Structure 1
Amino acid sequence: METPQGAELCFPQLHNTSCRKPMQHHAESIFLYTLLSCISLFTVALNLLVIISISHFRQLHTPTNLLLLSLAVSDFLVGLLLMPIQILLIGGCWFLGSLICRLFYYASFILTSASVGNMVLISVDRYVAICDPLCYSTKVTQKRVKICVFLCWICSVFYNGVILIDFLKHPDKHNSCYGECVVVINFITGAVDVVLTFVGPIAVIIVLYMRVFMVVLSQVGAIRSHLAAVTPFGSVNVTAKKSERKAARTLGVVVVVFLICFCPYFYPSLTGQDMSSGVEFSIFGVWLLYCNSCLNPVVYAFFYPWFRRSVKVIVTFQILQPDSCDANIL
């Protein structure tokens, strides 16, 4: 956005050093703030439904759902804490001081990394469940999943502390004027980050889900061969093709959503540029990244019938009844 000399100052009392507000049309500003506020609200609401469902109903206390719960918590915090502050940044002025600026970007990086880590853990869980179902209950236990989730969050905290060490020490280093909150990551650090936070996780997710897809196809083929002698070929073929399409659709949605939401954010590092989070970049790259937190409960939870049943119990206030935690949700 252009900021001509006649633009309004963020801090009029600091005429020589104050940042200037971007020139925006009133209608455009209202639409943008309304849209982003709705995204934030939906992100909080959807992930809160996942958190309440898995936490409340005993039938849902499984290792897989524990991973979904961790993912929902990170995405819930994105909608509750990061999105509202990011909306303020669109105005072009930062009024919350350098301490909040540091905490905001640090929390943003932590929650994003934790969300990606949780998605990788979910793909590993699905891989073991489909490819080694007989040993799943012994390999994937509640204790092991809790340890993995804990390590995921701890690693996110320490890893991003290292990535942002220079920014945390000198938060105003790259500010061009007073009233700005900008974090800049140099090319080398950005290249490492893009490998560990984007290229690596998406490679793991694709490889595991492709393996799952191939196993599902082989199982469908085995079922088709087994039933061909006693079932009309046409009906078997239709059932098999439906299973194949469902497996392919799930794989496609997981990978495509991840790529769409993360590619624009990591584009500067992928093209050899410094990663920065200024006003213009936040509107597209960062917000698309945040939208992944809104889409995650749709991709991972709405595919499960138990989630639809638990939401019905919650929104109709049946959850307030005694012993509702023991309700039959599965």
Structure 2
Amino acid sequence: MNSTLDGNQSSHPFCLLTFGNLETVDFCLLEVLIIVFLTVLIISGNIIVIFVFHCAPLLNHHTTSYFIQTMAYADLLVGVSCLVPSLSLLHYPLPVEESLTCQVFGFVVSVLKSVSMASLACISIDRYIAITKPLTYNTLVTPWRLRVCIFLIWLYSTLVFLPSFFHWGKPGYHGDVFQWCAESWHTDPYFTLFIVVMLYAPAALIVCFTYFNIFRICQQHTKEISERQARFSSQSGETGEVQTCPDKRYAMVLFRITSVFYILWLPYIIYFLLESSTGHSNRFASFLTTWLAISNSFCNCVIYSLSNSVFQRGLKHLSGAMCTSCASQTIAKDPYTVTVHEYFLLLGPLHDGLL
């Protein structure tokens, strides 16, 4: 059996999704279509996010942009790494043996998604500090400390999944499109518990704690403001509009990203725990939950672009400027035309343009 599992030499393709006549196809048609479609969306979406952040100086003024760009780069690498199982499903000969390929692929994707998960937790901590300690925030959260934090995120994510190379267990199901990973690489309940304790549980608890307190504090501030405005209005005979907590709007954007992340990853984590504890596996469930979770790499950029008004204006103007430059390459530049860089400098504070 090892001779057939160590390479891509089998006459029939190893497919997790086989329905009816599709089994006669020389390659795994459904898997290829799903993975290639997600790969294109993930790569293109995150390239756009990175490009807009690079061209918009004001977007970089917000401290959370460090973590959002980290997530974008990690998600982009997830999309690039997804090309590997696509080639395998198409029976394209890989340069190394299948066992090593699927181990490396599973490890890399697990680390990248761990970076996204840890970044979301750090974003929630950053917003919590901004609301609870507004006067000392700039001294507590500095660019140097943010860079150190990002480095530690990458280092910690790598160390958590590194034991998988020492035959402790499988870090996830990302490599199950490879036959060796599906049939010869099994999960270990202790390694799964280690991942949950060191990564999944702390990240989820941090997010729940910080956002619960953020919204509670914002609700309290909004109530106090409304009471003061009501007293002022009764004295002056005027009616005023109640202002909401300004940080709550930006927290809502990040809360949506975090919520979608855990909604898409929850089926994967539940299945991971069930198979590790019971020892029973289901190829269809493993494929479905895995690639549903990986689709979050595209959802992050969509949610952020749809929720942030400054990002929307930057993307719209950037695309408009690119179309204009392509259509008028031979026309001299109008002295009254505002360049992309000048536009972003005129946008005003990022904090006032959220949502």
Specify if TM > 0.5: yes
Which segment is superposed worse, 285-294 or 154-163? 154-163
Separation in 2 of the partners of 1:254 and 1:212?
16
> Who is 2:163 aligned against?
162
Render the CA deviation track for 1:164-204: whole Å, top value 9, x for unaligned.
421799xxxx99xx953344330011011122222221111
The number of equivalent residue pairs is: 307
Identity of aligned residues (%): 22
Distance change (3 Å), C-alpha of 1:75 and 1:248: closer
Q: Distance in 1 between matches of 2:131 and 2:47?
A: 28
Which residue is equivalent to 1:253? 256
Shift of 1:132: 1.6
Report the CA distance between 1:316 and its aligned residue: 2.1
Residues 1-330 of structure 1: matches in 2 within 5 Å? 11-12=9-10, 21=15, 23-25=18-20, 33-62=32-61, 63-82=63-82, 84-87=83-86, 91=89, 96=94, 97-98=97-98, 99-166=100-167, 179-182=179-182, 183-231=185-233, 236=241, 253-271=256-274, 273=277, 279-318=283-322, 324-326=340-342, 327-328=344-345, 329=347, 330=350
Call closer, same or farther: CA 1:243–1:274 in 2, change over 3 Å. farther
- The one-letter code matched in structure 1 to 2:264 is C
Partner amino acid for 1:147? V
Change (3 A) 1:251 1:11: closer
- Secondary structure, aligned partner of 1:217: helix
Residue 67 and residue 274 in structure 1: after superposition, are their counterparts in 2 closer, same or farther (change >3 A)?
A: farther
Q: Is the 8 A contact 1:117 1:201 kept in 2?
A: yes
**What secondary structure is seen at the aligned counterpart in 1 of 2:135?**
helix
CA distance in 2 between counterparts of 1:19 and 1:112 reads 28
Give the superposition deviation at 1:41.
2.0
CA distance in 2, matches of 1:258, 1:179: 28
- CA gap of 1:136–1:318, structure 2 versus 1, over 3 A, is farther
What are the ranges of 5 or more consecutive residues in structure 2 without an aligned counterpart? 1-7, 326-332, 351-355
Contact 1:254 1:299 survives alignment (8 Å): yes
Offset of residue 213 of structure 1: 0.4
Q: Distance in 2 between matches of 1:193 and 1:106?
A: 13
Structure 1 unmatched runs, 5+: 1-9
- Residue 108 of structure 1 deviates from its aligned partner by 1.0
Distance 1:252 1:151 in 2: 23
Q: Aligned partners of 1:152 and 1:266: how far apart in 2?
A: 20
Which amino acid letter does the alignment assign opposite residue 151 of structure 1?
A: L
Cα–Cα, structure 1 residues 310 and 260, in superposed 2: closer, same or farther, change >3 Å?
Answer: same
- Alpha carbons 1:40, 1:79 under 8 Å: kept: yes
Give the structure 1 partner of residue 328 of structure 2.
none
> Partner amino acid for 2:66?
L
Q: CA deviation at 1:58?
A: 2.0
The question of whether the paired residues in 1 share the 8 Å contact of 2:160 and 2:195 is answered with: no
CA contact under 8 A between 2:169 and 2:187: conserved in structure 1? no
Counterpart of 1:258, as a letter, is: F
For the structure 1 residues 103 and 163, does the alpha-carbon distance in structure 2 shift closer, same or farther, using more than 3 Å as the test?
Answer: closer
1:50-94 deviation per Cα after TM superposition (whole angstroms, max 9, x unaligned):
211222322222322111100111111112222x334566x5979
Q: Which one-letter code corresponds to 2:152 in the other structure?
A: L
Tell whether the 8 Å contact from 1:54 to 1:61 is kept in structure 2 after alignment: yes
Deviation at 1:222? 1.4
- Show the counterpart of 1:7: none
**TM-score under structure 2 length normalisation:** 0.72
Q: 1:236 to 1:102 in 2, by over 3 A?
A: same
Kept in 2: contact 1:253–1:299 (CA 8 A): yes
Q: CA deviation at 1:310?
A: 1.6
Letter in 2 for 1:72: A
Larger RCO (CA under 8 A, 6+ residues apart): 1
Question: What's the C-alpha RMSD, in Å, of the aligned pairs?
Answer: 3.9
Judged with a 3 Å threshold, the aligned counterparts in structure 2 of structure 1 residues 287 and 313 are, in CA distance, closer, same or farther, namely same
Q: Structure 1 residues 78, 207: CA separation in 2 closer, same or farther (over 3 Å shift)?
A: same
Whole-angstrom distance in 2 between the partners of 1:142 and 1:244: 20
**Which deviates more from structure 2 when the two are superposed, residues 193-202 or residues 159-168?**
159-168
In 1, Cα distance between equivalents of 2:279 and 2:315:
39
- Cα distance in 2 for partners of 1:277, 1:317 equals 52
Q: Distance between the aligned counterparts of 2:124 and 2:87, measured in 1? A: 35
Asked if the contact 2:257/2:303 (under 8 Å) is kept, the reply is: yes
1:286–1:73 distance in 2 versus 1, CA, 3 Å: same
Within 2, Cα distance between the matches of 1:316 and 1:285?
A: 38
Give the alignment's TM-score, normalised by structure 1. Answer: 0.77
Q: Distance in 2 between matches of 1:323 and 1:247?
A: 27
Q: Tell me the SS of whatever aligns to 1:209.
A: helix
Q: 2:157 and 2:251 mapped to 1: Cα distance?
A: 31
Q: Distance in 2 between matches of 1:95 and 1:168?
A: 26
Note if contact 2:128-2:214 (Cα within 8 Å) is conserved in structure 1.
Answer: yes
